[in-house]
Amino acid sequence: MQRVFELDVLACPSCGGRMKAIAEITCRRIASRMLEHVGLPNEVPQPWPARGPPESAGSGWIDDEQRSPDDDAR
C-alpha cells in the first residue's frame, strides 16, 4: 500500500503515531460477526464473469465498419 498508493496503513489517523498489529482473526465466524457489528459487509462478493474478445480485432475500434470514407476527409 505504501509503494503503490503512498498510504501508510500503520499511521494512526488521529495522532499520526505508529500502530501495531495485536491480533490476527482467522476464524471466519468471528470475522463475520466483527464486520457485521461495525456495519461492514460480511459476505464474500461474487466475481464478475469474464469478458469475451473484442468485436473488432483490427484496429481496436468497434465502430470502424460503421464509419464512411468521408469521415476521414474531415
pLDDT digit string, tens, across residues 34-59: 999 999 999 888 999 998 887 755 55
Looking at residues 9-38, what average pLDDT do you find? 92
Beta strands in the chain (DSSP E): none
Q: Comparing C-alpha atoms, which of 12, 7, 11, 37 is closest to residue 25?
A: 37
Confidence at residue 53, expressed as pLDDT on a 0 to 100 scale: 82
Confidence of residue 62 (pLDDT cuts 50, 70, 90): low
Confidence at residue 70, expressed as pLDDT on a 0 to 100 scale: 61
Write down the domain spans for the chain: 1-43
Residue 41 CA, distance from chain mean position: 15
Looking at residues 11-39, what average pLDDT do you find? 92
Confidence of residue 18 (pLDDT cuts 50, 70, 90): very high
Q: How far apart are CA 36 and CA 42, in angstroms?
A: 6
- The structure's pTM equals 0.43
